[in-house]
Structure 1
Amino acid sequence: MGQESNIRREQRQPLSEEVRQQIAAEITDGTYAPNEKLPSEPEFARRYGISRPTLREILSGLERDGLIRRVHGVGTFVTPKRTRVNSVLDLDIGVTEAVTAAKANLNVEVLDASIGKIKKWIAAALELPDDAEAFRVERIIRVDGVPATHGYDVIPLPILEAAGFPSYDGGSIYQFLESRCGVHLLGGVAEIEPVVASVRLAKLLDCPRNSPLLRLEQTERSAGGVPVLLSQEHYAPGVFSLTVHRLRRDRTDVAGRRAKSDRG
Structure 2
Amino acid sequence: MPIKERSVSLSQKIKKKIIEYILKENLQPDDILPSEAVLVDMFGVSRYTVREALALLEQDKILYKIHGKGTFVNKVPIQVESGLEKLESITDIIESFGYKPGTKWVDIKESLPTRDMIQKMKLKPKEKVITFTRIRTADGKIAAYCVDTIKRSNIVGDIPKNIDKESMFEYLEENFGIIPEYATADIIPVLPTEEMKKHMDIKENQLFLLLYQVHYDKEGHPQIYSMDYFNPDIFKFKVNRLRHY
TM-score, scaled relative to structure 1: 0.64
CA–CA distance in structure 2, aligned partners of residues 137 and 93 of structure 1 = 18
1:100 counterpart = 2:95: yes
CA–CA distance in structure 2, aligned partners of residues 110 and 21 of structure 1 = 34
Residue 3 of structure 1 is matched in structure 2 by none
Residue 212 of structure 2 is matched in structure 1 by 217
- What is the CA-CA distance between 1:199 and the residue it aligns to? 4.8
Residue 245 of structure 1 is matched in structure 2 by 240
CA–CA distance in structure 2, aligned partners of residues 79 and 123 of structure 1 = 48
Instruction: State how 1:1-264 maps to structure 2 within 5 Å.
Output: 67-69=57-59, 80-161=75-156, 167=160, 168-202=163-197, 204-249=199-244, 251=245
Sort the Cα spacing of 1:80 and 1:198 in 2 relative to 1 into closer, same or farther, 3 A. Answer: farther
- What is the CA-CA distance between 1:63 and the residue it aligns to? 6.5
CA–CA distance in structure 1, aligned partners of residues 88 and 195 of structure 2 = 26
Hey, which bits of structure 1, 4+ residues long, moved more than 6 A?
Answer: 29-32, 55-60
CA deviation profile, 1:59-91 (whole Å, cap 9, x unmatched):
775566xx23289xxxxxx87432222221100
- Contact 2:122–2:222 (8 Å) recurs in 1: yes
Mark the runs of 5 or more structure 2 residues left unpaired by the alignment.
Answer: 32-46, 62-72
Sort the Cα spacing of 1:63 and 1:141 in 2 relative to 1 into closer, same or farther, 3 A. Answer: farther
CA–CA distance in structure 2, aligned partners of residues 187 and 222 of structure 1 = 7
RMSD: 4.0
Rg (Cα) greater in structure:
1
Residue 38 of structure 2 is matched in structure 1 by none
- What is the CA-CA distance between 1:217 and the residue it aligns to? 0.9
- What is the CA-CA distance between 1:112 and the residue it aligns to? 0.7
CA–CA distance in structure 1, aligned partners of residues 126 and 233 of structure 2 = 38
Sort the Cα spacing of 1:13 and 1:129 in 2 relative to 1 into closer, same or farther, 3 A. Answer: closer
TM-score, scaled relative to structure 2: 0.68
Equivalent pairs counted in the alignment come to 209
Mark the runs of 5 or more structure 1 residues left unpaired by the alignment.
Answer: 1-11, 35-54, 72-77, 252-264
CA–CA distance in structure 2, aligned partners of residues 206 and 181 of structure 1 = 33
Task: Report SS of the residue matched to 1:131.
Answer: coil
- Contact 2:29–2:76 (8 Å) recurs in 1: no
Percent identity between matched residues is 20
